[in-house]
């Protein structure tokens, strides 16, 4: 690690002012900005106002930007150097079941725990705490140097937890304002507890709901059992046929566009020493249940999947009813990778289902999401610069990792604005986001702020 | 058809007094004796009282017999001739959804319809109307001859629609009183609209509920999709494996004790010219979906089945959640025939399920009913006598038929009292029992009464 007359005083300032930064985060966490519940509409607005005021205090030209839903917040500052866009979201998940919280989710506090100090409250990790790591880095830089090291735009959303209905229209309408040299997104986590991570691949998501209908009404199995088509049996056969004995998806063409992992990435992932046993053991499982010839990290990061997320049909209450149901349905989703085409897979899936239908059965389909996978261009020099900067801050060198989930904003930056995005975050696996007792380690917050200062320094040299 | 100085005046009396008989049935139908709903407990009691009083009016030594649940009603009369026990039930199904009824279900009335006059109201067919056919036959016989042609015992239950919890204990405690030469049960239907039927085989019923558990909690399919065991997929594979491509059940030993249909029965069924197209067409189906090498009547009467009556797992609400569920469950029932042993099949089924479980999955089972099939001894001379008597009343000769459902009382008469039972009833397929707008054709009621007069005559010669 080298010393830097430009960076070192910023890091020192961050260390010195951590109590004040924490107080600011606590203030933001007190605003119950639950985006999915209309009862909290005014609170979302209040969170946006709080951010606008805070950003103005740092010197950003900040504004609350109306949408048909909750407002966006934008801020612009600096001028020289590259143009960096930072994204985060200020809305939070609902808090129910409230009785499982050990404190009021909107009365946040710093708590001492056996594993260190944590900031406890709804949104501490997802995403107010992460969002504020970047804001605090900017504040410290500005305080030390009187100016920012780059042209920086901030872009905060208030609908991330409720499907982002206004996001794409807003990005289209304000494309010129938002387009930058590179985008930074802080909504992900560390790899393990001390390895910073840059997400370079995100899986896409295709959701399909299928409903099989047979008889025109529910039948009595005494009268019709043995002669009538049973839609549950038909649905079960279809679901059972979606995978072969090796765990591969059997839909024709499903693997078109699925790349083999490049040797260098495979080697790097190998070096992460992923603890699959621990990962599965946390949720009561003992062994990987995916494709038999793939490594655990491939299964969750770089291989496509087909999963059944829900199924229902017939009588599901207490006791027993000997009904032959008129219909049965299932929600099935696919995680997509590489160049897999969601719409082609939808068509192929539907054809396969139709081809398996016996006489007297019909099927209807309902569309849900259909987004392709994202693969970042790690050859962009910002990636390697950020990776080295993060490695300077944390005990372990930073890793390029995959992410099994889908973070649509990353794809939107690419497709709508032509920008590569770097997903860097400091959450930990036990942060309990979306669950009761959400927390953000004070270490995540502190080293997160320091990390962004280092990344800003690296990207603006 | 021969004339009979003994029978003909009874039939004439039945014809002459049909309006009064109908009024009596309407009075009984006005009592809302819903056995499954505790709010109607007093009404069940009132229906039992009504029957006791009515039977006493005919000359029966009748009594309301207490049980831990709703009371039984017994009546005894006559002395000479064979001892005949008649069974029916005075309780009825709930009436919801009430808004689908075109009249108050407990304000019954005789209605003119395009297909003839019908008695409309809850219980009209199931089973008050059918029960009263036998009572009215006894009344007419007594009125004409001053005595009954046989020793007759009546046995009316008030819990048939709520699982008959008191039935077996009551039969055990009163076995001597109830044991007769033959039992008659009136709770079934005609074959078609003009062919009387005697049920000679009833399928048994085995109910199993299985729950597959995988992860210790619901998982996010972005994080765990591809590596975690999915219980819905496991359950679907198990269900899909329960039948082969020919529709046969694959559980080892399942067909042990399943007899081939005797040639004479097969020929007789062939002669019934069962309209499978019409039977299936009524419920929106076009072709039999059972074992590919079996006739439609075999499928519903004499072949065992395995059906899924309900399935549930994961997210089943509106929209989509990408959850990997911790568990999935299904209710599965088997209709049994011949000498199939319900407990052996339960064991074999459970072993098959356990053998199909992948690592990290567990299964739990819940018991439901387990009753063997009933096969009547049609060589008993009462069967042929009754068959001829019924043939004299109706346009078509009477048929020996199977019944795909399970009527436990028939098995109880055999196993607890050593009696054969003849199931004879006059319901029609469109009676809408258990559904809104239940009805009983006035023709069913009228010819039902006449049928019993003929059967009494035939059995007491």
Task: Report the 3 state secondary structure along chain A.
Answer: CCCCCCCHHHHHHHHHCHHHHHHHHHHHHCCCCECCCHHHHHHHHHHHHHHHHHHHHHCCEEEEECCCCCCEEEEEECCCCCEEEEEEECCECCCCCHHHCCCCCCCCEEEEECCEEEEECCCCCCCHHHHHHHHHHHHHHHHHHCCCCCEEEEEEECCHHHCCCCHHHHHHHCHHHHCCCEEEECCCECECCCECEEEEEECEEEEEEEEEECCCCCEEHHHHCCCCCCHHHHHHHHHHHCECCCCCECCCCCCCCCCCCCHHHHHHHHCCCCCHHHHHHCCCCCCCCCCCCCCHHHHHHHCCEEEEEEEEEECCCCCCCCEECCEEEEEEEEEECCCCCHHHHHHHHHHHHHHHCCCCCEEEEEEEEEECCEECCCCCHHHHHHHHHHHHHCCCCCEEEEECCCCHHHHHHHHHHCCCEEEECCECCCCCCCCCCCEEEHHHHHHHHHHHHHHHHHHCC
Residue in B287, B308, B403 nearest the CB of A232: B308
Rounded to 5 degrees, what are φ and ψ at A213?
-115, 145
How are beta strands A83-89 and A151-157 bridged, if at all?
parallel
Are B440 and B119 in contact by the 8 Å Cβ rule? The answer is yes
Asked if the Cβ–Cβ distance from B310 to A316 is below 8 Å, we say yes
Residue in A232, A303, A359 nearest the CB of B311: A232
Q: Which residue of B lies nearest to A239 if distances are taken between CA atoms?
A: B236
Q: Residue B273 has which token pair?
A: 């010219």
Q: Can you state the percent helix, strand and coil of chain B, rounding each to 5?
A: 35, 25, 40
DSSP state letter for B300: I
Residue B145 Cα, gap to closest chain A Cα (Å): 41
Q: Which residue of A lies nearest to B327 if distances are taken between CA atoms?
A: A310
Whether the ω angle into residue B127 lies within 30 degrees of 0, i.e. cis, is: yes
Asked if the Cβ–Cβ distance from B236 to A233 is below 8 Å, we say no
Q: Residue B256 has which token pair?
A: 């042990």
**Average pLDDT of every residue of chain A:** 95
Q: Which residue of A lies nearest to B321 if distances are taken between CA atoms?
A: A309
A-proximal residues of B, 352-371, CB under 8 Å: 358-360, 368-369
- Binning pLDDT at 50, 70 and 90, where does residue A317 land? confident
Residue in A280, A315, A331 nearest the CB of B320: A331
**For residue A285, which residues of chain B lie inside 8 Å, CB to CB?**
214-216, 228-229, 360
**For residue A408, which residues of chain B lie inside 8 Å, CB to CB?**
none
The verdict on B224 touching A (C-beta cutoff 8 Å) is yes
- Please state which of the four CATH numbers 3.40.50.1970, 3.30.70.360, 3.30.1300.10, 3.40.50.300 is assigned to the domain occupying A204-264+301-371: 3.30.70.360
Burial of B250 (0-12, 13-18, 19+ CB in 10 A): exposed
Residue in A289, A325, A358 nearest the CB of B228: A289
Taking phi over 0 as left and psi of -120 to 50 as alpha, with beta for the rest, B125 belongs to alpha
Residue B312 Cα, gap to closest chain A Cα (Å): 4
Q: At what angle do helices B231-240 and B342-356 cross, to 10 degrees?
A: 130
Are A442 and A431 in contact by the 8 Å Cβ rule? The answer is no
Among residues A296, A405, A248, A436, which one has the least CA distance to residue B217?
Answer: A436
Asked if the Cβ–Cβ distance from B335 to A203 is below 8 Å, we say no
Are B134 and B427 in contact by the 8 Å Cβ rule? The answer is no
Rounded to an integer, what distance in angstroms lies between the CA atom of residue B244 and that of residue B256? 17
pLDDT of residue A435: 86
* Mean pLDDT in consecutive groups of 10 residues from the start of chain B, 461 residues: 86 98 98 94 98 98 97 93 96 89 96 97 97 98 96 97 92 97 96 94 94 92 91 98 97 97 92 93 94 95 96 89 92 96 97 97 92 90 96 96 89 92 95 92 98 97 89
Rounded to an integer, what distance in angstroms lies between the CA atom of residue A340 and that of residue A256? 6
The verdict on A283 touching B (C-beta cutoff 8 Å) is yes
How are beta strands A109-113 and A204-213 bridged, if at all?
unpaired
CA B142 to chain centre: 30
**For residue A240, which residues of chain B lie inside 8 Å, CB to CB?**
233, 236-237, 239-241
DSSP letter for each residue of B196-230 = -EEEEEE-EEEEEEEEEE-SSS-EEHHHHTTTS--
For chain B, first and last CA: distance in Å? 17
Residue A3 has pLDDT above 80, yes or no: no
Asked if the Cβ–Cβ distance from B321 to A312 is below 8 Å, we say no
What are the C-alpha distances in Å from A13 to residues A51, A388, A446, B335?
21, 22, 11, 77
Q: Which fold has domain B8-202+373-459?
A: Aminopeptidase (3.40.630)
Asked if the Cβ–Cβ distance from A309 to B315 is below 8 Å, we say yes
Residue A204 Cα, gap to closest chain B Cα (Å): 9
Asked if the Cβ–Cβ distance from B323 to A310 is below 8 Å, we say yes
The verdict on A373 touching B (C-beta cutoff 8 Å) is no
| ipTM score | 0.87
Residues spanned by CATH 3.30.70.360 within chain B? 206-258+304-370
Please state the rounded mean pLDDT for residues A363-382: 91
pLDDT of residue B163: 83
Asked if the Cβ–Cβ distance from B316 to A310 is below 8 Å, we say yes
pLDDT of residue A230: 96
pLDDT of residue A212: 98
Residue B296 Cα, gap to closest chain A Cα (Å): 7
Rounded to an integer, what distance in angstroms lies between the CA atom of residue B420 and that of residue B190? 20
H/E segment holding residue B449: helix B442-459
pLDDT of residue B80: 85
For chain A, first and last CA: distance in Å? 17
Residue B441 Cα, gap to closest chain A Cα (Å): 21
Residue A265 has pLDDT above 60, yes or no: yes
The verdict on B312 touching A (C-beta cutoff 8 Å) is yes
Whether the ω angle into residue B97 lies within 30 degrees of 0, i.e. cis, is: yes
Residues spanned by CATH 3.30.70.360 within chain A? 204-264+301-371
How are beta strands B305-314 and B327-336 bridged, if at all?
antiparallel
> CB B200: neighbour CB atoms within 10 A?
21
Q: Residue B288 has which token pair?
A: 């039999």
Q: Which of A236, A279, A436 should be substituted to probe chain B, the one whose Cβ sees the most B Cβ atoms within 10 Å? A: A236
- Please state which of the four CATH numbers 1.10.1240.10, 3.40.50.1860, 3.30.70.360, 3.40.50.2000 is assigned to the domain occupying B206-258+304-370: 3.30.70.360
pLDDT of residue A320: 80
What are the C-alpha distances in Å from A383 to residues A130, A296, A420, A423?
19, 25, 10, 10
Asked if the Cβ–Cβ distance from B320 to A368 is below 8 Å, we say yes
Residues spanned by CATH 3.40.630.10 within chain B? 8-202+373-459
Close Cβ partners of B218 (under 8 Å, ≥ 6 residues apart):
B314, B323, B324, B325, B326
Among residues A129, A127, A134, which one has the least CA distance to residue A119?
Answer: A129
Q: Where are the alpha helices (DSSP H) in B272-426?
A: 276-281, 296-297, 342-356, 381-393, 408-417
Number of H helices, E strands in chain B: 15, 18
pLDDT of residue B105: 97
The verdict on A97 touching B (C-beta cutoff 8 Å) is no
Asked if the Cβ–Cβ distance from A308 to B309 is below 8 Å, we say no
Asked if the Cβ–Cβ distance from B227 to A360 is below 8 Å, we say no
Asked if the Cβ–Cβ distance from A403 to B222 is below 8 Å, we say yes
Length of chain A: 461
Are B338 and B200 in contact by the 8 Å Cβ rule? The answer is no
The verdict on B240 touching A (C-beta cutoff 8 Å) is yes
Are B408 and B160 in contact by the 8 Å Cβ rule? The answer is no
Asked if the Cβ–Cβ distance from B314 to A308 is below 8 Å, we say yes
The verdict on B258 touching A (C-beta cutoff 8 Å) is no
Q: Which residue of B lies nearest to A296 if distances are taken between CA atoms?
A: B227
Residue A2 has pLDDT above 70, yes or no: no
Asked if the Cβ–Cβ distance from B226 to A330 is below 8 Å, we say no
B-proximal residues of A, 32-71, CB under 8 Å: none
DSSP state letter for B243: B
β partners of residue A157: A89
Among residues B193, B187, B177, B71, which one has the least CA distance to residue B130?
Answer: B187
Q: Using alpha carbons only, how large is chain B's radius of gyration in Å?
A: 24
Q: Which of B188, B227, B403 should be substituted to probe chain A, the one whose Cβ sees the most A Cβ atoms within 10 Å? A: B227
Are B418 and B172 in contact by the 8 Å Cβ rule? The answer is no
pLDDT of residue B429: 87
Asked if the Cβ–Cβ distance from A310 to B325 is below 8 Å, we say yes
Listing from the earlier edge strand, what are the strands of the sheet with B362-371?
A: A362-371, A204-213, A327-336, A305-314, B305-314, B327-336, B204-213, B362-371
Among residues B137, B187, B188, B139, which one has the least CA distance to residue B458?
Answer: B137
DSSP state letter for B191: B
Asked if the Cβ–Cβ distance from A404 to B303 is below 8 Å, we say no
Q: Which residue of A lies nearest to B434 if distances are taken between CA atoms?
A: A220
């Amino acid at each position: 690690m080298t010393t830097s007359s430009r960076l070192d005083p910023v890091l020192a300032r961050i260390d010195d002012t951590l109590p004040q930064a924490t107080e600011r985060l606590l203030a933001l966490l007190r605003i119950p900005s639950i985006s999915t519940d209309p009862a909290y509409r005014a609170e979302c607005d209040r969170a946006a106002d709080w951010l606008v005021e805070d950003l103005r205090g740092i010197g950003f030209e900040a504004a609350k930007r109306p949408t048909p839903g909750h407002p966006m917040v934008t801020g612009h500052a600096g001028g020289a150097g590259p143009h960096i866009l930072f994204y985060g979201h200020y809305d939070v998940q609902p808090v129910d079941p409230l009785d499982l919280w050990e404190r009021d989710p909107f009365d946040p506090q710093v708590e001492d725990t056996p594993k260190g100090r944590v900031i406890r409250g709804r949104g501490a990790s997802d995403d107010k705490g992460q969002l504020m790591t970047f804001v605090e880095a900017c504040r410290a830089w500005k305080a030390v140097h009187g100016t920012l090291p780059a042209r920086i735009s901030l872009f905060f959303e208030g609908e991330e937890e409720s499907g982002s209905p206004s996001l794409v229209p807003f990005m289209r309408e304000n494309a010129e304002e938002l387009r930058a040299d590179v985008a930074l997104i802080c909504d992900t986590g560390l790899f393990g507890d001390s390895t910073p991570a840059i997400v370079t691949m995100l899986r896409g998501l295709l959701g399909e709901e299928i409903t099989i209908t047979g008889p025109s009404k529910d039948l009595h199995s005494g009268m019709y059992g043995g002669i009538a088509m049973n839609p549950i049996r038909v649905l079960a056969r279809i679901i059972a046929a979606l995978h072969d004995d090796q765990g591969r998806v059997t839909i024709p063409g499903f693997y078109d566009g699925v790349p083999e992992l490049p040797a260098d990435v495979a080697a790097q992932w190998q070096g992460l020493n992923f603890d699959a046993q621990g990962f599965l053991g946390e949720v009561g499982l003992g062994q990987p249940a995916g494709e038999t010839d793939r490594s655990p990290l491939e299964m969750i990061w770089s291989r496509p999947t087909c999963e059944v997320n829900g199924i229902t049909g017939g009588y599901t209450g207490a006791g027993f009813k000997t009904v032959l149901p008129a219909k049965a349905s299932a929600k099935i989703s696919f995680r997509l990778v590489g160049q897999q085409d969601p719409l082609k897979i939808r068509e192929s899936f539907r054809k396969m289902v139709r081809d398996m239908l016996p006489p007297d059965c019909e099927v209807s389909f309902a569309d849900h999401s259909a987004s392709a996978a994202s693969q970042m261009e790690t050859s962009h020099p910002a990636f390697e610069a950020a990776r080295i900067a993060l490695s300077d801050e944390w005990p372990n060198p930073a890793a390029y990792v995959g992410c099994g989930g889908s973070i649509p904003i990353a794809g939107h930056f690419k497709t709508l604005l032509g920008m590569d995005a770097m997903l860097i975050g400091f959450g930990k696996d036990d942060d309990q986001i979306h669950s009761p007792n959400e927390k953000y380690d004070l270490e995540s917050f502190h080293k997160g702020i320091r990390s962004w200062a280092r990344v800003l320094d690296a990207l603006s040299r």
